[in-house]
Amino acid sequence: MIRHLWQTHRLALMAFGIALCALGFFGVRTMSSMIYWMDPDHRDQALAGWMTPRYVMRSYQLPPDVLGPALFLVRDAAPRRISLDTIAAENGITMDDLQIRIDAAAAQMRADREARRDD
């Protein structure tokens, strides 16, 4: 069967193989990401200098418009990979101060969400 397909529909069989490999790659990547973020140990983690805003956003489940002001990020600025250590140093604050700002933003967002849910 495969030999017949290879002889008559070589390009289609190669395209199918490539698509199957891509499906496997992205499927494994999605599942590993889901398993990682479903673990309660990764929710609301204490801040560490190596973390990026995107990691904090996922850990605290905060949208960018809530997390951005807490991390002194400008909304329309060009995206860049930056660590929390760098953000704290650029703004002259400590990691503890940054933790307080993020905790306050998360608490406010969750309180707003609960208030909307109760209405």
Question: What single string gives the DSSP state of each residue in 61-93?
Answer: T--HHHHHHHTT--TTSPP----HHHHHHHHT-
**Do residues 52 and 24 share a domain?**
no
**Do residues 74 and 110 share a domain?**
yes
Burial bucket for residue 88 (CB in 10 Å: 0-12, 13-18, 19+): buried
**Do residues 17 and 54 share a domain?**
no
Ramachandran angles phi, psi of 24, nearest 5°: -65, -45
How far apart, in whole angstroms, are the C-alpha atoms of residue 5 and residue 101?
61
**Do residues 19 and 52 share a domain?**
no
**Do residues 29 and 15 share a domain?**
yes
Residue at 88: amino acid letter: A
28 Cβ contact partners less than 8 Å away, ≥ 6 residues apart:
none
**Do residues 63 and 106 share a domain?**
yes
**Do residues 47 and 100 share a domain?**
yes
**Do residues 14 and 48 share a domain?**
no
**Do residues 7 and 32 share a domain?**
yes
**Do residues 18 and 55 share a domain?**
no
How far apart, in whole angstroms, are the C-alpha atoms of residue 38 and residue 27?
16
Q: Indicate the pTM of the whole model.
A: 0.73
**Tens-binned pLDDT, residue by residue, of the chain (119 aa):** 888 888 899 999 999 999 999 999 999 999 998 998 888 887 888 999 999 999 999 999 999 999 999 999 888 777 778 999 999 999 999 999 999 999 999 999 999 988 888 76
How far apart, in whole angstroms, are the C-alpha atoms of residue 97 and residue 72?
12
**Do residues 13 and 63 share a domain?**
no
Q: How many domains does the chain have?
A: 2
CB 12 within 8 A of CB 20: no
Q: Which domain holds residue 78?
A: 43-118
